Structures are given as structure tokens and as C-alpha cells.
Chains A and B, each alone.
Chain A
Amino acid sequence: MSGIKPINLPKWGMNMQEGKLVEWLAEEGEEISEGDEIIEIESEKIVNVMEASISGKLRRQCGQIGETYPVGQLLAVVADDDVSDAEIDAFIKDHEASFAKVLQEREAAGTGPTIATVGGRAIEYAAAGDGQPATVFIHGIGGQKEAWLISQNAAAELGQTVAIDLPGHGGSAKSVEVGDLDELAGYVLGVMDELGIGSAHLVGHSLGAVIASHIARHHPDRAKSAFLIAAAGPGTIVSPAFIEAFGKAESRGEVKKAMMPLFVDKSMVTRDLVQAVLKTKRIEGANACLQKIGEASGTQLSGLDPMETLRAIKTPVSIVWGAEDEVCSLENTKGLPDSVKLTVFDGAGHMVQIEKMAEVNDLLLDHIRAAD
């Protein structure tokens, strides 16, 4: 059956298990070329566009809008006109049979989370790619490692990547000793140690950026560079109203409201996102843990000058910010040292790496290549 080519649900990131078909961007009968956008797929609450890796005529759409499929599922068939429908049917059937076996094997193998024990605490992480240079992703308060999926996938083409869940978040322990930057940095470095990563490009969002800059300053041998999103160094001013509302929010309605300031496009505070935050917050100890971290690594440092940290960092630093950030105002970038490359995006808020995902990913890859 030469001439019949499958299009399967891709695996974006090591931990991706499944994806939901959101929309067809190419119709049956259409000629597609490599690089064309063909399908919108949602995974880990982020919608991304799948590009064709082959060219030809899209003969059959196999997936249904709104359905969730495992990675590897046959979504479409590309073939020349001279291939009959019957042959395509047979191809699909064959694929289903062999794929069923693959799924069975996957089930048997199990898919446990990857956990490192650092300082007596479980820290969950997701790793993808291998080789140098390594890149480490650190989320902010209320975030989780899965949000880095697309960016991590991009960086994984360059080398090893790892995204961690900070304590109090995702699959990591819901407690901290004091929650200050030294402790939080320790968890990041501990996971790097576990994976044999000597030094890496550190990518951080919000609190994650503050942690990244802290490591770059105090452990320069571990940081090849720092890519900071929506925060600078320790002392970055975070809206007290946001912190209070987010900390206090208990019901779904309250959490949704508290998260509104994060985006310019308020429709991005989706049900799924709110659910994910709610589930984390409701775990025993999580709220208290978040509060400790918020104080020790945030409000208690408000007297510090973030620029002081940035000036002390010897390795390359790039900063990305949303012009309409309501949580960490753009004002925080005043007085940046000249060595720091700042990019500001209009029409984006605190979650600039989500609202301007493609552009920020491009910047990130450029940053990594340049810094290396």
C-alpha cells in the first residue's frame, strides 16, 4: 500500500498522553503541503495547531471534532487520487488493529509521574529531549509544569529539557520549610542534579523568573542563561490585590474572578484552567504552602531592588513582558541594565507566554542559541 500516508496525533512533550480534536483546518479532498496548518488539537488545556509533515491529497478525515484520542491515533489519511476508497478503508482497518496492540502495551507499561526527592520532598517533573544544551522551566504561583508543554517541546529539539512543579503545586509535595528563594532554588537544582544536568538555560515565569534569576546570581555555575517572563529579580512588585484575592479564593466563582487579571483576553480564563487551579488549591496544605511561598519569596522581599540582582548576573539575560500586565506591572522593568534584552508585547498581560505563545517561543529558541 505505497502511496497511502497516515497523519497521527502527535506527541508534544514527554508527558503528553492524549489530545482533543478541536477543529479541522484542512478538508477532505484538499491538497496539503508540508508545513500547512491542518488540525487544531487541545492538550493540557492548551490549543495548538498541528502542521502537516507530509504533502498530498487529504483523502479521509478519521477523527471526530470534540473527541479525545491517544497519542498516535490515526487522524487522517493522505493518498493520491489513484488510490481507491476501498484501499483506504483497508489501510484504516489495519492501522486500528496494530494500534490497538500499541495501546495495550502502553497500558501494561504504565505511565507513572516522574518524581525526584529533594530535601525530603517529592518534586514532580517532566523531561523531554536529550543532549546539550539543557533548558529548565519554572512556573509561577498557581501554575504547573504542563503549561510549558509547547515551549518545552520546542526547546527539546535543541537538547534536554525539564519542567518542574514547585512545592505546593501539581504533583509535588504540598509543603515547604520556609518557602524562601534559597529553598525553592534548591528544589530546582536538586532535580537538575537528579538528571545529571550541570548547568542549564533557566526559563521562568513570574515567581519562576525570580527563582531563575536568584539561581543565576547565586549559582552561576548552574545557569547558562536566564529567560525571564513577566518578572525580573527578587523585589519585583506583585499586585497585592491579586495576591490577596487569589489566596482567599475558595469557590470556583471566586477563583475564576481572581484569575481574571492574569490575561488581557479574559476568555482565556477557561473552565479547565480554573478547575486545574481549584484542584491544586484544595489539596490539604496547598493553600498554606502557597501563602508561605508568597510571603517568603514575594511580599517579604518587596524592599529589594530587582535590578541589583540582574546587574550581578554574569550570564545572558532576556526578559519578556506583556504591556498590559495587571499582576506585575511593566513599571518593574524601569532601570534595566543595558545587557538585559527586553521584549514587550502589546495586547498581552501577565500570561504573556500563553497569549503570545508562538512569538515567545521563537524568542526563547533564539535566546538559547545565542547564549550558547
Chain B
Amino acid sequence: MPIKTFRQAIIEALDSEMARDPGVFLIGEDVAGGTGCEGEIDAWGSPFGQSKGLYGKYGPMRVVDATLTEGAFTALGLGAATQGMRPVVDLMFNDFFSTSADQVVNQIPKQHFLFGGQDKAPMVIKANHGAGVGAGAQHSQALHSIFTYFAGLKVVMPSNAYDCKGLLIQAIRDDSPVIFLEPKLLMDSTADVPDEAYTIPFGEAEYITEGDDVTIVALGYMVTIAQKAAAALAKQGIEVELLDLRTTSPLDLDTIVESLEKTGRLVIVDEGSPRCGFASDVAAHVTAAAFEHLKAAPKMVTAPFTQIGFAPAYEQAYIPSPERVEAAVKEVMGE
């Protein structure tokens, strides 16, 4: 099976769906790049190259460079979606949802509900996610929990290139609006990725490792962090069962509970805020659902309650590390 990067997986998913359905189009700033300029068109293929080559294949009505107006082009996406098209709106950084907040939180999740089911909004809003590249406080946030809050949105974040392609294809085909988050630090990661199209259903967690001692739950780049911790713990004789949740909405609570029936101990690793964040959400719901299986209170390993400073030391301190995860596991094991 061919080995491809996360970035290539995104391109292949877009390509496959654009070929299959003429209603699929990509819109965002510089998704082609070069519009209105005198150099190359498709100069960028998105700021991180995740759509390179698609403009040449599909042209300006399918790979649409927008003006610097997140609100306007997200609204355009919504309107087109109600007419049967399947827009993929690229917000670039998940932090930028703020400039299209009315669309993303007030309009899109409600389009189907507000009008009694007359309309659908089958669109994908995608953006990159997380810290680690020195982009500063306003370009490095992990906002998946914010989107999860709104009933009507599905929220997806792959942890590897294989999942990325399958989940993005699923997102484009889904009739509900989907927020698709691309962890920055995974862009160059590789995995076996089939050439053909395939889908991965939402709400299905994947077992990354199996073990009897403790359950670790993670998502996106945190899966990589947790994998490192699990490897270190294995050498110390602690067997970790690592679950990659893949989607925060819907959430695969059943698999977490199934795992806790075996281990009784839970550590949640999340790059988001310790307040009103995804870790708190999982901890509360799991405790309610599986209290009788818990041998200890769930431990949350999250970012600290601060902002992400620019200097590398700030970032290092912000992103949960394998060492912090190891420590949390030992705490929950009572060591």
C-alpha cells in the first residue's frame, strides 16, 4: 500500500470527491493562489499546500480564491449548500472562525433546524488546528470543543493520514455541516493510504493500542503524544489502551466505557483549554456513564489556562507532553 503524507491525503480526498460530484467546490483564501496576480495561478494550492494541483484539474469555479472576508465566503458556502452544492470552505486557521462566527455558530448549524427541515447545509468547514509551529497566540489555538458545543455541527479531527482521507471523504458526503480540523503538526506525517476512495464513519473510536491497565483517550495530534507516552509506559510494564476518538461530535462514548470496563482508569489528553474544554466534557460524560467501573477519578492532561506565547519555550510548555501524560497515568494508577 502506498505511503502518503497527511497533506497528500487531503488533496486525494478533495480530488476524489470533486471528480465524483460536480457540486463539490473548494473556497477560501489562496486555495489556488495567484488570482489577480501576474505570476502563476495555483501558485500556492492553499497556504500549506493542501490543495495543490486541484486548480489545474478543476478550474476557477471549483477551486475558488476568495477575498479576505471569512464571513462573506462562509456565507457564500452556506447559500450554495442550500442549493444542493457541497462546498468545502477553507478557513485556514481554526482561530479564524471568529471572523465568520455568525455564519459558523449562528447560521450554519441551524439552517436545517430553524426552517423546520426545509433546507440542508451539506458543507465542510476546514481549518488547521493547534500549536507547535511558532505561529503565536491567535494562530495556534485548539478550538474543537467550541464547535462541539453547537448541536447541528459534526466535528472531526484525524490523527493520521489514513484516517484523514477517509474522514474528509465522509465529511464531504455527509448531509450535515462538518467542521474538519487538520492538526498542523501532522501535515507531514505519513501512513499507508489507499489510492481508492474510502470512508470512515463518524462516532467510531479506533484502538491504537490495547492494554489492561489504563485507558487513554485522545484526538488529533494528541494521539501522537499519547503513543509516545504509551511506548515509554510499556517499558515500565504499564499496559495502555489508547483510543483515538477521531470525532468529538458525535462522540463514541460506548467504546470508552467498553475500555473502562476492563481498565477502570482513564486519562484524557487534550490540547484544548482546561475550562469548558473537550477533556472536561469527556470526563463528565464518562463519569456519568461508567462510574461503577472507575477505580480512580479520571485525569485530564490539557493545555494550561493561559495563552500561547510566541517564544518556543511558551509553546513547549503549552502543548501536553508525553512526560505529562506518563505522570498522569502513574497518578491514576496510584503510584
Contact = CB atoms under 8 A, between A and B. Distances in A.
A contacting B, Cβ–Cβ less than 8 Å: yes
Interface of A: 64-67, 112-113, 171, 174, 250-253, 271, 275, 279, 282-286
B204 A284 contact: no
Nearest to B20: A284
B198 A283 contact: yes
A259 to B, nearest CB: 15
B231 A171 contact: no
A283 B194 contact: yes
B197 interface: yes
Contact of B234 (A66, A112, A171, A250): A66
A252 B204 contact: yes
A348 to B, nearest CB: 24
A252 B163 CA distance: 14
B196 A174 contact: yes
B124 to A, nearest CB: 18
Given A251-B204, A279-B194, A285-B196, 14 more contacts: A65-B235, A113-B1, A171-B1, A250-B201, A252-B206, A253-B254, A271-B207, A271-B210, A282-B198, A282-B199, A283-B196, A283-B197, A284-B197, A286-B198
Contacts of A275: 206-207
**Most chain B beta-carbon contacts within 10 A, residue among A113, A251, A275:** A251
Interface string B162-181: 10001000000000000000
Contacts of A252: 204, 206-207, 255
B8 to A, nearest CB: 16
Nearest to A271: B207
Contact of A279 (B198, B210, B234, B254): B198
Given A171-B1, A251-B201, A64 B194 contact: no
Nearest to B237: A65
8 contacts: A112-B2, A252-B207, A252-B255, A253-B255, A271-B207, A279-B194, A282-B200, A284-B197
A298 B199 CA distance: 27
A62 to B, nearest CB: 14
Interface of B: 1-2, 162, 166, 194, 196-201, 204, 206-207, 210, 231, 234-235, 254-255
B166 A282 contact: yes
B210 A66 contact: no
B156 to A, nearest CB: 15
A204 B206 CA distance: 32
Contacts of B206: 252, 275
B235 A66 contact: yes
B201 A284 contact: no
A134 B207 CA distance: 39
Nearest to B235: A64
A65 B231 CA distance: 10
Contacts of A253: 254-255
A171 B1 CA distance: 6
B259 to A, nearest CB: 11
A251 B207 CA distance: 13
Nearest to B231: A66
Interchain residue pairs A-B with the least CB separation, the first 3: A284-B197, A283-B198, A282-B198
B247 to A, nearest CB: 13
**Most chain A beta-carbon contacts within 10 A, residue among B2, B198, B201:** B198
A252 B201 CA distance: 10
A121 B60 CA distance: 34
Nearest to B210: A271
Contacts of B198: 279, 282-284, 286
Nearest to A274: B207
A224 B200 CA distance: 43
Contacts of B207: 252, 271, 275
Contacts of B200: 282
Contacts of A284: 196-199
A253 B205 CA distance: 10
Contacts of B254: 253
A63 to B, nearest CB: 12
Contacts of A174: 196
Nearest to B199: A282
A250 B199 CA distance: 11
Nearest to B207: A271
A262 to B, nearest CB: 19
Contacts of B210: 271
A165 to B, nearest CB: 11
B302 to A, nearest CB: 27
**Most chain B beta-carbon contacts within 10 A, residue among A65, A66, A279, A282:** A282
Contacts of A112: 2
A66 B210 CA distance: 12
Contacts of A283: 194, 196-198
Contacts of A286: 198
Nearest to B194: A283
Nearest to A171: B1
